[in-house]
A and B are shown apart, each in its own frame.
Chain A
Amino acid sequence: EAQVTQNPRYLITVTGKKLTVTCSQNMNHEYMSWYRQDPGLGLRQIYYSMNVEVTDKGDVPEGYKVSRKEKRNFPLILESPSPNQTSLYFCASSLSGSGYTFGSGTRLTVV
């Protein structure tokens, strides 16, 4: 089944403890992105990647890192999470000129 898989689905962590949210797609898509969703603000792009080893900042990149070492994987790294990074996170992928397929989301709480 064609899909974008995110893990974990839910995560509660403490301020400053490094964490990684994984994202993997099995559709051979070139483009991958990370978004955060907060009430009243819609979906805001954190980082995007056009292909392996090609990444760029989105609208809200502060406090996040990404890597694209393989075409299928695009992990999101929070080196030192803070409470303002509590949010719902989505990974998405697409082919050029096509719609994005979203993962199921990761609900992160930083206390």
Chain B
Amino acid sequence: QQPVQSPQAVILREGEDAVINCSSSKALYSVHWYRQKHGEAPVFLMILLKGGEQKGHEKISASFNEKKQQSSLYLTASQLSYSGTYFCGTEFNSGGGADGLTFGKGTHLIIQP
């Protein structure tokens, strides 16, 4: 039931856009997105809840297709600081956090000058 992320890795030039996808075979209550830099802990970026509510910060956006159980993270005009590994985390039960998060294997994003 681990969500599937794609692509596994992407290399961009500074200023280019990126899309990272996350899909689940099981009905989702919410999708979380996190970024992890080498040697550091994952940092929360955004949560998308069933019903359309989104909570997040920083200059990113995301979508959640409840019918297809898919989410996409959009990074526009990428900056060097966007480099890292992006993880989606999925929750299956209502109530937020009731069964913790199941994470995908991650997408490695490298931004070059």
Contacts and interface: CB of A to CB of B under 8 A. Distances in A.
Contact of B47 (A56, A99, A101): A99
Interface residues of A, number: 28
A42 B102 CA distance: 10
Interface string A5-24: 00000000000000000000
Interface in A20-36: 30-31, 33, 35
B96 A97 contact: yes
B16 interface: no
B106 A42 contact: yes
B47 A58 contact: no
B43 A102 contact: yes
Contact of B101 (A33, A41, A105): A33
Contacts of B2: 42, 59
Contacts of A105: 41
Interface of A: 30-31, 33, 35, 40-45, 48, 50, 56, 58-59, 90, 94-105
Interface of B: 2, 30, 32, 34, 40-47, 49, 55-56, 87, 89, 95-106
